[in-house]
Structure 1
């Protein structure tokens, strides 16, 4: 497509000579702009993908892909009885990986001078083991001690804030107390810490605690039932299909099924919108750099009017002239895109080390887990996104060269030599 003569001339035009430094400087800034735009877009999209996947994984890891509750009444959801049999049946449904019965309720957590609201989740030791987002950070001894009426597992953040360790006491206070002649008295009970988990999510580490299911049933006065059954599926993206299968199978059990697309859809929809908006905004950086390519090529064409006229009189066709300037502009776009892609990929691969280095250098917390929910800065490279960004940058760069190249090809050699 490009002959050796055209490549040679384009290469000479890209070299800055005396009196042509300004055009070369603009081309360099265009290259840097494209590289920064491509690199920034790759990094931002990777961070957004990582944030969404990590947050989704942790939320679903603790709460399950869908939850099963009893029918509603004027006192709230009815407890589910015969939950072990129901959980075993649910695990046999295609698409269901784990079904864990649980009892939960809101409480006030108290330890010494520390007081905070929290959520109690009661489940069996086997169920806690299946909850990998929690169990992966617990020791085997914690599961052995997770029994009886006074055992409790707490999060790392709660333990740090309240100064708690294994064997410490935590008091749970429930506002739904017992009615007496003196009025409604809150239920208060102290539990011994037998394990400390780290889910990697600040909110869960600070506010969630786990009790043996029998202890939770006694504390919340649910005799032989549970609040619900949480289910993890083999593919969270196809949870609605699994939900429909469960509804069909348990139609006569008077159960309610609530999957994550219903309970958290608004939150993840907002993350998706933010990702699309960031992609659009950062694309403008590449677009601005493409306009710089146009301006630098137009200036180059103006500067090379005499050279174009001479080449035309020597027999160069309009197509050859156009290809020469196409190569000049395309080389800037391709080089900038390639450099930006390498920078973006390397940055994503080492983003957590870079963050920690910047934090040590500046002495500031650049990723506060209380604000961003997660304990570390996630980044997930989606190669489909990378290819899309690269193709878009190349397309914009090549489109930017068309008008200046066409203008150069349309130069009249007679007029060009006359003006000289």
Structure 2
């Protein structure tokens, strides 16, 4: 018997003829169940990557930037100066940042106060925010602030009303400074964790309360294609300006968030692997069923000279073709549904369901082809191993089995 026989037998197993209606239904059912396993895995992967990337973008664009140059004076006169030095840079903003407690008549909130100019809210950042009012518009001598809707609801204040702060300008001072501010606008980033602690203040006002030698820095945004080149970008700036800058990158000053994302992702991928192991066991059961239903045929083929290797290869190819069909169908349907998941998330975000406020539901759909290929490849490898183990049963089938009656 040759490989030609193995391919012929594999074709007969995949396209059974005659009275084998049950065999045909079994193949369809098996492929469908494999697809059903893959669809939620792909959807979970799309949701996980999209939400994590979305949260990371929120923190980078609104709170910390990609790079912080810890220099107390402004380094650039305009955004043109920045892009002229390195086109990989999208913006550079002089920022003053500190911490304080904002309070109303009934309650208080601990906040990070970020002093920025109105030009800080460029096109990239505007995609992350929804505004109500006029951001940081200065009127009179009161400090101009922009609260998140989360903080405003907690304090019970609206645009045009006043709030009070207790600001400690630096850790070496024991003087607590009271501040009265006018709420000129409200913002909503869509992520409760960030909104609950971030407050924007007019930069000129912030510089009165936070000493620039400790609290001022230049915040840089880098184009999305060059986020892995942060060290090289800083080196280019240092070379062009002939000075060295103390700096930090986004994964350093958001170390806890960054590490939590990495750990969560690893745990989720481990859960995926466990699910694939269970799916691999199911695939092996397909091979066992096919062998059980074909014992007399296998015995006959052995009598005619077929080897265990020929028969095992035929059944292996048949099962793996069914697995591959289910895999491709599941991944394709998962990608199709995943590309429209934004509509469902938008509906959930507007549903007012308790607990959803702590999740970011408005994010850009991200398809990680590398992870999808890795999961698909893992499924094929696990299935190959479990099927090969199951096919060992063929060796134990004697040609005498053909004498048995159904």
TM-score with structure 1 setting the length: 0.77
Contact kept, 8 Å, 2:95 with 2:217, in 1: the verdict is yes
Residue equivalent to 2:222: 233
CA 1:377/1:125 → structure 2, altered by over 3 Å: closer, same or farther? closer
Residue equivalent to 1:39: 39
CA 1:192/1:320 → structure 2, altered by over 3 Å: closer, same or farther? same
Residue equivalent to 2:102: 109
Matched, 1:277 2:262: no
Q: For residues 360 and 153 of structure 1, what CA distance do their matches in structure 2 show?
A: 24
Contact kept, 8 Å, 1:30 with 1:290, in 2: the verdict is no
Note the residue ranges of structure 1 that are not aligned, 5 or more in a row: 71-79, 178-182
- Count of residue pairs brought into register by the alignment: 394
Q: For residues 136 and 340 of structure 1, what CA distance do their matches in structure 2 show?
A: 35
Q: For residues 108 and 250 of structure 1, what CA distance do their matches in structure 2 show?
A: 38
1:143 Cα deviation (Å)? 5.1
1:93 Cα deviation (Å)? 2.8
1:386 corresponds, among 335, 358, 372, to 372
CA 1:119/1:132 → structure 2, altered by over 3 Å: closer, same or farther? same
Residue equivalent to 1:210: 200
Contact kept, 8 Å, 1:110 with 1:116, in 2: the verdict is yes
Contact kept, 8 Å, 1:146 with 1:152, in 2: the verdict is no
Task: Give the 5 Å matches for 1:304-343.
Answer: 304-313=294-303, 321-343=311-333
Matched, 1:160 2:150: no
1:112 Cα deviation (Å)? 3.0
Q: For residues 319 and 168 of structure 1, what CA distance do their matches in structure 2 show?
A: 82
1:60 Cα deviation (Å)? 0.9
Partner SS for 2:99: strand
| Residues 368-392 of structure 1 deviation map (CA, whole Å, 9 limit, x = unaligned) | 41xx4x3547752212322232233
1:142 corresponds, among 111, 131, 134, to 134
CA 1:321/1:366 → structure 2, altered by over 3 Å: closer, same or farther? farther
CA 1:171/1:129 → structure 2, altered by over 3 Å: closer, same or farther? farther
Q: For residues 168 and 230 of structure 2, what CA distance do their matches in structure 1 show?
A: 35
Matched, 1:291 2:295: no
Residue equivalent to 2:356: 367
| Residues 376-416 of structure 1 deviation map (CA, whole Å, 9 limit, x = unaligned) | 47752212322232233233334433344464377442x32
Residue equivalent to 2:70: 69
Partner SS for 2:160: coil
Q: For residues 212 and 360 of structure 1, what CA distance do their matches in structure 2 show?
A: 32
1:57 Cα deviation (Å)? 1.0
Q: For residues 55 and 309 of structure 2, what CA distance do their matches in structure 1 show?
A: 54
TM-score with structure 2 setting the length: 0.79
1:417 corresponds, among 389, 402, 405, to 402
Q: For residues 59 and 89 of structure 2, what CA distance do their matches in structure 1 show?
A: 17
Partner SS for 1:145: coil
Partner SS for 2:73: coil
Contact kept, 8 Å, 2:70 with 2:218, in 1: the verdict is yes
CA 1:261/1:145 → structure 2, altered by over 3 Å: closer, same or farther? closer
| Residues 340-380 of structure 1 deviation map (CA, whole Å, 9 limit, x = unaligned) | 2134224423445546777999x8535341xx4x3547752
Contact kept, 8 Å, 1:50 with 1:379, in 2: the verdict is yes
Contact kept, 8 Å, 2:276 with 2:378, in 1: the verdict is no
Note the residue ranges of structure 2 that are not aligned, 5 or more in a row: none
